[in-house]
Structure 1
């Protein structure tokens, strides 16, 4: 669109800005047996961080290709200040974050920053990490932590991109399709009081992943930030015991991440919020041990946690159970057995129709690898916690 706008303004097609823009578009084309497509969202930072973390947990050594991935992540940290309009807390550090994709310093976000912190911390735990890289990794983590501190909202939670906009009520939001006003007065009202879809409020899934990063034992503690984030999650828990998920589908995404964040920062399994969250997950496990949720649960919350079997969500729940100390539970065993049974001959897993979210309840997308690294990491953590992997019974 920017290239078209520049051309419409009279710039020739040979203008350097248009040539660079079109070069980016052409380089983004992906071709396979079905033809050519251009992904709507590039996930290079997010996917690299999660894939690297999964491979480390699976036992790969931090050398050769994985070491190159670490170096690439370090180079992806933002050195240019985040846009001031996205960062409204006085004196906040506007560098040090990570974006969803590379070369996007102006739109770094809390979610990717938290995931990269957790991955970098996993690298610090590897004895084969070169000694000269250790201080660099530690410094990158500290810069990212300072960025996250500045992004914590007044309600204690974390949004993805923008600090300080209106918070959300407890539970699901964005349940009706978004319609833009057509009158000038309506547009002005929208600017003064943005809809939640435009406003980027603190959300449960992002806050849970930030707390997971802040609770990592290799990360310097931020007790004040942790306490406020925990309070936000406790306020946002639904009556069912679930937590809504903003950026992936949906309650089976928000609930595991909220549980991990709470337990990583001090909650016990007997804490009421944790106990209710675990009970919710147990109530949503399918007969075959899997978990799945239709994207229609955004528009109809009564469908929460219900849908066809989805390996990515099954893995998300399994990883959470391992991280909070329920590796030996029947729920975890059944989920692990399901992932073993559903792995394809080439080592991959089907996605089961699981979708990421742009603006619910109608705008979704999928990115390459989103169905691959969650099962690998979940099974690796399950095995590392002392549980044996086997396929278990089959189901009709």
Structure 2
């Protein structure tokens, strides 16, 4: 339990049916109110200020001064500053050195005086934390573009990486699709090593933020930690190897005069152009678009060229403006949000054949395992006859093909490469995760269950072929073994796309439950997880988990209750326990009590979530979305209602 929570006790009474129905009815009113263009759902994905600071940096690089909407950007960045002068990677987290350095530079570019109170407090925090020399790799690269870091203080990223064949252990296709979108334009930028002007002019050794250096004469600080490389107790051969390669590349001038460099740069630009969505952005994410624009300009495109203008227009579509100012979203997720909202609607007891649920959505260039799985689940929940669709068979086979060698799944690519953690590119890696593997198992379990109730004649699709179902069975067996290996000794699983243990544990149990019949091994895994879930329930009946659990196992399942964490816990318990279990009743009562009118149109009600419960990259980028804290509670309430009806009608 969270030691700081209020002493409100759990309500173990059975929730009145009329309150449950009323809650779901209000939630559904809000659901349809939030539907966009009568075809999909999506909401702003709130993240930290670095996404917005990169927008400010781009305008400065392009010479667009005064920067458009400068006061709005300034107002937003200041609104996120903590009392100690820092900026965190997520709300309620401690201040982060890299985020704070980027915010400070952006505010100074936007015209805020270094002597004002906000900048003074920010500067004091940064210096106390070790100064700008402690900033992360991507921050160093951003600052090097203005001469605030020497380019040699950032990793050497030879453009020839794009020429390495997929057969080699190290190539760009060992990274996720999002990572490739980030890395490839950086290969072009780090080749050219541009230095753009700041308000004080253009200089390769610019003193614009020298006040953030503990020692401004030491700007050649290495991005590798010498203590971690050469301490006898912590030495790592792989990290040492990449440090040596980086040093060698430095002596060789980063291979910028290598005969294949022109070809490599041409390949990079072609890759960027080929992988842009028609509106000009990368698949659903904004950060790479900034670097795409700079890469194109450095390779001869003009600011008036169609592709550059398209990129600028795409970036603007990611912006959001309200009373706190103007900010940039890191991503949009209409496929994910629409699929999960569809599933919530089906769980709520709403008419599954509502015409508004019949519309489909697609993702052209960047299909992800996570999106594909939730779409598959929503299709099967909406109508089990969809199993006869060729789409289901093709999606299932594709997902099988994306399974990693360890038996799990990552979000974007088959890239189980732990050694990438030892490189400067470690933030760009997406390996297998228990939460996504659990989602896949749930989808595959549902497919096999529906298929078992139909004859091969009824299954008039490719799914009826032994090859497809056989592949699903084999992949599922490997996934169960993966989850067995990944389960923590005290019961839960560690996740990635929701923070952190509660989300992954709910997903893993929901998947394993389809394979528990007659398998005591799987039953023991589920029982251990359920026992842990009950142990960490808060006194108010809900569940919560802070982002500290991402780095501290002792914080697993501990934190103030949130709608999302409570819903995940309830859905997990419903897989194993009688719906009239005291813990489940207390959780349902907590969700009913926390529902409130948060609709601008005052139509319906939802759940407000101020904590960040989602993540796009553990340790660097966390997300918060109002729509996700809406559909997960609906799922929990709907499944509870169905379970109660089934239990007591029997």
Q: TM-score, normalised by structure 1?
A: 0.76
Q: Which residue of 2 is the match for residue 378 of structure 1? A: 636
Quote the offset at 1:313 in angstroms.
0.8
Q: Which residue of 1 is the match for residue 444 of structure 2? A: 214
User: Which whole-Å CA distance do the structure 1 matches of 2:482 and 2:326 have between them?
Assistant: 44
Quote the offset at 1:325 in angstroms.
5.1
Report if the CA contact (8 A) 2:435-2:505 is conserved: yes
Matches within 5 A, 1:57-96: 57-61=347-351, 62-68=353-359, 71-72=360-361, 76=362
User: Which whole-Å CA distance do the structure 2 matches of 1:336 and 1:278 have between them?
Assistant: 16
User: Which whole-Å CA distance do the structure 1 matches of 2:583 and 2:492 have between them?
Assistant: 16
Helix, strand or coil: the match of 1:247? coil
Stretch deviating more after TM superposition (297-306 or 260-269): 260-269
Helix, strand or coil: the match of 1:50? helix
Report the structure, 1 or 2, having the larger helix content.
Answer: 2
Report if the CA contact (8 A) 2:564-2:613 is conserved: no
User: Which whole-Å CA distance do the structure 1 matches of 2:507 and 2:519 have between them?
Assistant: 15
Distance 1:16 1:198, change over 3 A: closer
Q: Which residue of 1 is the match for residue 432 of structure 2? A: 202
Q: Which residue of 1 is the match for residue 175 of structure 2? A: none
Q: Which residue of 1 is the match for residue 480 of structure 2? A: 230
The answer on 1:44 being equivalent to 2:334 is: yes
Report if the CA contact (8 A) 2:405-2:416 is conserved: no
Q: Which residue of 2 is the match for residue 82 of structure 1? A: none
Helix, strand or coil: the match of 1:386? helix
Quote the offset at 1:269 in angstroms.
9.5
Helix, strand or coil: the match of 1:156? coil
User: Which whole-Å CA distance do the structure 2 matches of 1:239 and 1:264 have between them?
Assistant: 22
Helix, strand or coil: the match of 1:357? strand
Quote the offset at 1:368 in angstroms.
4.3
User: Which whole-Å CA distance do the structure 2 matches of 1:111 and 1:167 have between them?
Assistant: 20
Q: Relative CO higher for 1 or 2, CA cutoff 8 Å, sep ≥ 6? A: 2
Q: Which residue of 2 is the match for residue 115 of structure 1? A: 374
- Cα displacement string for residues 203-244 of structure 1 (whole angstroms, at most 9, x for unaligned residues): 111111100000013366422111111011011110111100
User: Which whole-Å CA distance do the structure 1 matches of 2:318 and 2:620 have between them?
Assistant: 25
Report if the CA contact (8 A) 2:608-2:626 is conserved: no
Q: Which residue of 1 is the match for residue 621 of structure 2? A: 363
Which of these residues, 394, 397, 402, is aligned with residue 143 of structure 1?
394
RMSD: 2.5
Quote the offset at 1:359 in angstroms.
2.5
Distance 1:287 1:24, change over 3 A: same
Q: Which residue of 2 is the match for residue 159 of structure 1? A: 410
The answer on 1:339 being equivalent to 2:629 is: no
Q: Which residue of 2 is the match for residue 27 of structure 1? A: 317
Report if the CA contact (8 A) 2:611-2:624 is conserved: no
Q: Which residue of 2 is the match for residue 181 of structure 1? A: none
- Cα displacement string for residues 342-387 of structure 1 (whole angstroms, at most 9, x for unaligned residues): 0013411021403212332343122341211100111111112226
Report if the CA contact (8 A) 1:208-1:258 is conserved: yes
User: Which whole-Å CA distance do the structure 1 matches of 2:485 and 2:585 have between them?
Assistant: 31
Report if the CA contact (8 A) 1:267-1:274 is conserved: no
Which of these residues, 611, 618, 621, is aligned with residue 353 of structure 1?
611
Q: Which residue of 1 is the match for residue 549 of structure 2? A: 297
User: Which whole-Å CA distance do the structure 2 matches of 1:338 and 1:27 have between them?
Assistant: 37
Distance 1:118 1:140, change over 3 A: same
The answer on 1:54 being equivalent to 2:54 is: no
**Which structure has the larger Rg?**
2
Quote the offset at 1:113 in angstroms.
1.4
Matches within 5 A, 1:254-293: 254-267=504-517, 271-293=523-545
Size of the aligned set, in residue pairs, is 327
Helix, strand or coil: the match of 2:389? helix
**Structure 1: which 5+ runs fail to align?**
77-101, 127-133, 169-173, 179-188, 389-396
Helix, strand or coil: the match of 2:644? coil
Which of these residues, 292, 301, 305, is aligned with residue 11 of structure 1?
301
Report if the CA contact (8 A) 2:318-2:330 is conserved: no
Report if the CA contact (8 A) 1:41-1:367 is conserved: no
Report if the CA contact (8 A) 1:158-1:203 is conserved: yes
Helix, strand or coil: the match of 1:358? strand
User: Which whole-Å CA distance do the structure 2 matches of 1:374 and 1:269 have between them?
Assistant: 29
Stretch deviating more after TM superposition (200-209 or 107-116): 107-116
Stretch deviating more after TM superposition (7-16 or 264-273): 264-273
Distance 1:3 1:22, change over 3 A: same
